[in-house]
Amino acid sequence: MPKTIIISNRLPIKVQRTEEGLAYESSEGGLATGLGSIYKQGDNVWIGWPGTYFEEDSEKKQVRQDLHQQSMHPVYLTEGEIRDFYEGFSNETLWPTFHYFSQYAVYEDTYWEAYQRVNQKFCEAVMELASAGDTIWVHDYQLLLLPAMLREQMPESTIGFFQHIPFPSFEVFRLLPWREQLLQGMLGADLIGFHTYDDARHFLSSVSRIVGLNTSQGLIDNGFRNIMVDAFPMGIDYDKYASLATSEETHAKIAEYREALQEQRIILSIDRLDYSKGIPQRLQAFELFLKENPDFHGKVTLSMLVVPSRDQVEMYKQLKETIDELVGRINSSYRTITWTPIQYFYRSFPIEELSALYSVADIALVTPMRDGMNLVCKEYIASKVDRKGVLILSEMAGASRELADALLINPNDLGQMVRTIREALLMPEEEQITRMEHMQEIVQRYNIHHWVSIFMNRLEYIKEKQKAMATE
């Protein structure tokens, strides 16, 4: 029976060493949460890194066995690979460039060499498990070279690639010394997907200008095959979040939070610690809001959850300090004996607690400087069973293309953010409900299952088209 092989750098499960032995936890980030609910079907398998360095063969064997029972297959990274491939090329070269922070990008040959080696390592892991007829689905910027490596080994195979982060404009992408090899790597796929049309358009423009291939109407002709490029905005498991919001556990948490927060209006912000998320800018906007709106002192709390991420990378360490300082400064200036303006948490939360926070939040403040999609805002919408609540969303998040009923802001415009926070706090309930209903319709319809099936159907379609063209 043909199967689907999903490959991403990070598995949806993180393995950690604890005093009691190995512990398995869900991974952070959009990709893991988004695909987490679908890979267990049939003989499908997910190949990826379990998130920890393992030295002992006995541990590796144990992890492999445990993961196999859950349809996962580990690729182990050495300490050097974690440093040069994961922290280095993936997160100090590609991540900043693709998020338009090219001033943070490090161009380092040793990183590039490690990136090629680790992509090869993933290729070998896929070859061990793949059979003819399988569908191979590669995910994200850590594995841009993998589609072409797989194509070389299995010229007839069906390969999809999806990029979960933005694809920058040609003028930014061309800054990368390895731009052509990266594009050639991606072009090993039959279908290349992005969250938005703009990302797809930027990619096509880079392919035509750097590789010199013809790219008309979302099709690239590389002389052997037609490769299709399109936008597939990713959704969430809507029913999971909607039903979680009405579960007993969530209700108990909601009651606990309401009791603790009394009559406070809650503004919620949830992100991984990342400079692309605009956390300092959001804090500055909240500070300015407090300065300009004394009538809200004592009445509004910003509940800010920051999930630790890539904490060995220099820019992330610096960002952590900036956030700590800003929160300290704002709280110490405005707090009273009975009110703390910002509740700041630096850790991850179990999903039931997130669900309760989404439920009690009057406003979700989602203001990235740049974001491929952003699933947090969709989770907020799905969790709002009473349909009351306002989403403030950055224009720079892919999700803003679908969610026209959010209050859209430019995260560089502090004044606009401040006015929008006030507008959201004063929005009549009726308007909140109308906007929320529209957004719920969209998020419910274009859910994760829809996303997977549209992508897979399109992949099948392009394969058929390639065959038809070959026999013409």
The one among 84, 140, 190, 379 contacting ligand G6P by CB under 6 A: 140
Per the CB < 8 A criterion, the answer to whether 73 and 67 are in contact is: yes
Residue nearest to ligand G6P (CB): 29
Q: How far is the CB of 311 from ligand G6P (least distance, A)?
A: 10
Q: Does 362 bind ligand G6P (CB under 6 A)?
A: no
Question: In this complex, which beta carbon is closest to ligand G6P, that of residue 10 or of residue 202?
Answer: 10
| DSSP 8-state code for residue 47 | E
Q: Does 195 bind ligand G6P (CB under 6 A)?
A: no
> Which secondary-structure segment (H or E) carries 46?
strand 45-49
Tell me the backbone φ, ψ of residue 174, rounded to 5 degrees. Answer: -65, -15
Q: Which amino acid is at 162?
A: F
Report d(CA 96, CA 13) in Å as an integer. 25
Report d(CA 101, CA 172) in Å as an integer. 9
Q: Does 52 bind ligand G6P (CB under 6 A)?
A: no
Number of residues that bind ligand G6P (CB under 6 A): 10
Q: Does 28 bind ligand G6P (CB under 6 A)?
A: yes
Q: How far is the CB of 310 from ligand G6P (least distance, A)?
A: 5
Among 23-31, 260-268, 347-355, 404-412, which window interacts with ligand G6P (CB under 6 A)?
Answer: 23-31
Among 24-32, 186-194, 285-293, 412-420, which window interacts with ligand G6P (CB under 6 A)?
Answer: 24-32
With H, G, I as helix, E, B as strand and everything else as coil, classify residue 394.
Answer: strand
The one among 73, 99, 164, 202 contacting ligand G6P by CB under 6 A: 164
Q: Does 285 bind ligand G6P (CB under 6 A)?
A: no
Residue the block writes with tokens 């929160």: 327
The one among 10, 225, 282, 378 contacting ligand G6P by CB under 6 A: 10
DSSP class per residue in 130-189 = --TT-EEEEESGGGTTHHHHHHHH-TT-EEEEE--S----HHHHTTSTTHHHHHHHHTTS
Q: How far is the CB of 274 from ligand G6P (least distance, A)?
A: 8
Question: In this complex, which beta carbon is closest to ligand G6P, that of residue 348 or of residue 383?
Answer: 348
Q: How far is the CB of 373 from ligand G6P (least distance, A)?
A: 9
Q: Sheet holding 342-346: strands in order across? A: 342-346, 300-307, 265-272, 363-366, 390-394, 407-409
> Tokens in use for 400?
């803003």
The one among 13, 31, 279, 414 contacting ligand G6P by CB under 6 A: 31
Choose among 171, 173, 183: nearest CA to 145.
Answer: 183
Report d(CA 197, CA 209) in Å as an integer. 18
Question: In this complex, which beta carbon is closest to ligand G6P, that of residue 389 or of residue 398?
Answer: 398
CB-based contacts of 152, cutoff 8 Å, min separation 6: 188
Q: List the interface residues with ligand G6P, window 301-340 (CB under 6 A).
A: 309-310
Q: Does 435 bind ligand G6P (CB under 6 A)?
A: no
The one among 12, 13, 30, 50 contacting ligand G6P by CB under 6 A: 30
The one among 5, 105, 165, 229 contacting ligand G6P by CB under 6 A: 165
Q: How far is the CB of 53 from ligand G6P (least distance, A)?
A: 14
Q: How far is the CB of 445 from ligand G6P (least distance, A)?
A: 23
Q: CA 463: distance to chain centroid?
A: 28
Per the CB < 8 A criterion, the answer to whether 30 and 234 are in contact is: yes
Among 26-34, 145-153, 384-392, 443-451, which window interacts with ligand G6P (CB under 6 A)?
Answer: 26-34
Q: Which amino acid is at 118?
A: V
What are the CA-CA distances from residue 129 to residues 3, 73, 120, 142, 155 (Å)? 10, 9, 15, 20, 16
Q: How far is the CB of 367 from ligand G6P (least distance, A)?
A: 17
Q: How far is the CB of 32 from ligand G6P (least distance, A)?
A: 6
Question: In this complex, which beta carbon is closest to ligand G6P, that of residue 31 or of residue 136?
Answer: 31
Report d(CA 307, CA 318) in Å as an integer. 15
Q: Does 273 bind ligand G6P (CB under 6 A)?
A: no
Q: How far is the CB of 153 from ligand G6P (least distance, A)?
A: 24
Question: In this complex, which beta carbon is closest to ligand G6P, that of residue 237 or of residue 287?
Answer: 237
Per the CB < 8 A criterion, the answer to whether 73 and 13 are in contact is: no
Per the CB < 8 A criterion, the answer to whether 286 and 302 are in contact is: yes
Report d(CA 183, CA 222) in Å as an integer. 12
Binding site for ligand G6P (CB under 6 A): 10, 28-31, 140, 164-165, 309-310
